[in-house]
């Protein structure tokens, strides 16, 4: 059997096409949901036509802080060692697909090893080569590599990064996000979301390094205000970001800025429609960087470093939190746009062909 273990919004966006393809082929597959994030997950499953999970490992609140994630993961692993429950239904010959760099990714790989199953890592081989930046994502990636048997790598650079690791490396050429965007583009006209009149940009921030303490949040909010001076901004409120803004007393500051409009976190199709119609996206998200590359949309990364290659030197500018880099982007972003490009290959089909062909799905 083929087992898919995911637990976050970003993972569902990128694995949604894979799960939909498994379903359309009539493959025997098992959907294990870790429960790391619950908010908007149902909407996202509806976006991609993904069924309800077969197994849910955590039913409580979303797991947001790094210490809470460590405790949550330890509890699930302890239950797995006691075989309560067996998320893989007694299977001992199949493969467990995990994705990316989250705690749910590492948890899925560890659960697979506990049960003696093979691990397939989707979006494998990405590296920043700095264990503390981004943290904890770079660390979870490196640990997951050591547990993996089949590496699905979004490009030759990612394959090369895995030279020292044993196992089968498969170049999917692009990220599965390309297939997610194709589906979103096909349904764009039917998506109901209020798109502002006139020019605007979208701001999306949620990463640990930008919201974990007051100084970090003060720095990034200051940059958002600098951006808004030049371009009206839609600020997407991810739940952890909203909580930190309130905690540090910055929510009213943003609400009082007439150039910044606060919006809730949307499902995937609504968010993409807002970005599609915007002038540019300012973000700290690696997936957002990839989305902008495939859309040909200018993107300002509010990060010190990125482990992803998509768009760097073309339509994506890494700010490193430098005001001069932000100002340069705002002056020249129009020159970075090139429009949506269909790259031809389907990374989803490459992955599903492999797992169905080799693991009896």
- CATH code for the domain in which residue 207 is found: 3.40.50.2000
Q: Is 147 part of a structural domain of the chain?
A: yes
User: pLDDT value at position 36?
Assistant: 83
Q: 261: part of which helix (H) or strand (E)?
A: strand 260-264
Does residue 150 share a domain with residue 13? yes
Does residue 238 share a domain with residue 159? no
Locate 340 and state its tokens. Answer: 């949506």
| Cβ(11)–Cβ(119) below 8 Å | no
Does residue 296 share a domain with residue 167? no
Does residue 81 share a domain with residue 155? yes
Q: Is 261 part of a structural domain of the chain?
A: yes
Please state, in angstroms and as integers, the Cα–Cα distance from residue 194 to each residue in 170, 197, 277, 360, following that order: 41, 9, 11, 45
Q: Is 256 part of a structural domain of the chain?
A: yes
Does residue 115 share a domain with residue 19? yes
Locate 94 and state its tokens. Answer: 């199949």
* pTM score: 0.88
Q: Is 113 part of a structural domain of the chain?
A: yes
Does residue 29 share a domain with residue 143? yes
Does residue 226 share a domain with residue 89? no
Q: Is 264 part of a structural domain of the chain?
A: yes
141 CB-near residues (< 8 Å, 6+ apart): 100, 101, 126, 127, 307
Q: How far apart are CA 32 and CA 51, in angstroms?
A: 11
* pLDDT by position in tens, the chain (length 361): 999 999 988 899 999 999 999 999 999 999 999 988 777 677 788 888 899 999 998 887 777 777 888 888 888 888 777 766 789 988 989 999 999 999 999 999 999 998 999 999 999 999 989 888 888 889 999 999 999 999 999 999 999 999 999 999 999 999 999 999 999 999 999 999 999 999 999 999 999 899 989 999 999 999 999 999 999 999 999 988 999 999 999 999 999 999 999 999 999 999 999 999 999 999 999 999 999 999 999 999 999 989 898 999 999 999 999 999 999 999 999 999 998 877 778 999 999 999 999 986 5
Q: Is 189 part of a structural domain of the chain?
A: no
Does residue 198 share a domain with residue 154? no
111 CB-near residues (< 8 Å, 6+ apart): 5, 76, 77, 80, 87, 88, 96
Please state, in angstroms and as integers, the Cα–Cα distance from residue 266 to each residue in 45, 60, 68, 110, 236, following that order: 13, 21, 25, 31, 8
User: pLDDT value at position 280?
Assistant: 98
Q: How far apart are CA 264 and CA 205, in angstroms?
A: 12
Does residue 90 share a domain with residue 8? yes
Does residue 159 share a domain with residue 199? no
Q: Is 181 part of a structural domain of the chain?
A: no
Task: Look at residues 20, 30, 17, 14 and name the one whose alpha carbon lies nearest to residue 360.
Answer: 30
Q: How far apart are CA 156 and CA 343, in angstroms?
A: 15
Q: Is 187 part of a structural domain of the chain?
A: no
Handedness of CA 35, 37, 38, 42 (dihedral sign): negative
Domain that holds residue 168: 2-174+345-359
Q: How far apart are CA 118 and CA 35, in angstroms?
A: 22
User: pLDDT value at position 69?
Assistant: 80
Does residue 269 share a domain with residue 217? yes
Domain count, the chain: 2
Does residue 140 share a domain with residue 15? yes
Q: Burial letters for 92-112: b for 16+ Cβ neighbours within 10 Å, e otherwise?
A: eebbbbbbbbbbbbbbbbbbb
């Amino acid at each position: 059997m083929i087992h898919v273990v995911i637990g976050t919004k970003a993972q569902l966006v990128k694995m949604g096409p894979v799960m939909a393809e498994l379903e359309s082929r009539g493959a025997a597959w098992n959907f294990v949901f870790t429960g790391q994030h619950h908010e908007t997950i149902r909407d996202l499953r509806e976006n991609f036509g993904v069924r309800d999970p077969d197994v849910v490992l955590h039913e409580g609140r979303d797991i947001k802080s790094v210490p809470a994630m460590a405790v949550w993961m330890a509890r699930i692993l302890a239950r797995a060692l006691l075989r309560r429950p067996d998320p893989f239904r007694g299977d001992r010959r199949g493969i467990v697909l995990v994705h990316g760099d989250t705690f749910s990714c590492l948890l899925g790989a560890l659960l697979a090893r506990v049960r003696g199953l093979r691990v397939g890592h989707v979006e494998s081989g990405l590296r920043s080569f700095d264990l503390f930046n981004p943290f904890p994502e770079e660390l979870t990636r490196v640990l997951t590599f050591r547990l993996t048997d089949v590496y699905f790598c979004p490009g030759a650079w990612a394959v090369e990064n895995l030279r020292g690791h044993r196992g089968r490396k498969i170049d999917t050429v692009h990220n599965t996000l390309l297939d997610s965007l194709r589906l979103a583009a096909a349904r764009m006209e039917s998506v109901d979301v209020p798109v502002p009149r006139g020019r605007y940009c979208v701001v999306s921030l949620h990463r640990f390094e930008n919201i974990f303490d007051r100084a970090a949040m003060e720095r990034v909010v200051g940059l958002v205000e600098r951006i808004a001076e030049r371009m009206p901004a839609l600020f997407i409120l991810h739940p952890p970001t909203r909580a930190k803004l309130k905690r540090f007393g910055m929510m009213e500051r943003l609400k009082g800025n007439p150039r910044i409009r606060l919006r809730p976190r949307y499902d995937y199709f609504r968010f993409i429609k807002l970005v599609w119609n915007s002038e540019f996206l300012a973000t700290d998200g690696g997936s957002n960087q990839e989305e902008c590359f495939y859309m040909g949309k200018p993107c300002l990364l509010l990060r010190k470093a990125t482990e992803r290659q998509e768009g760097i030197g073309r339509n994506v500018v890494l700010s490193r939190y430098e005001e001069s880099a932000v100002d340069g982007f705002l002056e020249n972003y129009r020159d970075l746009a090139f429009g949506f490009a269909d790259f031809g290959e389907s990374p989803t089909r490459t992955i599903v062909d492999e797992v169905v062909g080799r693991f009896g799905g």
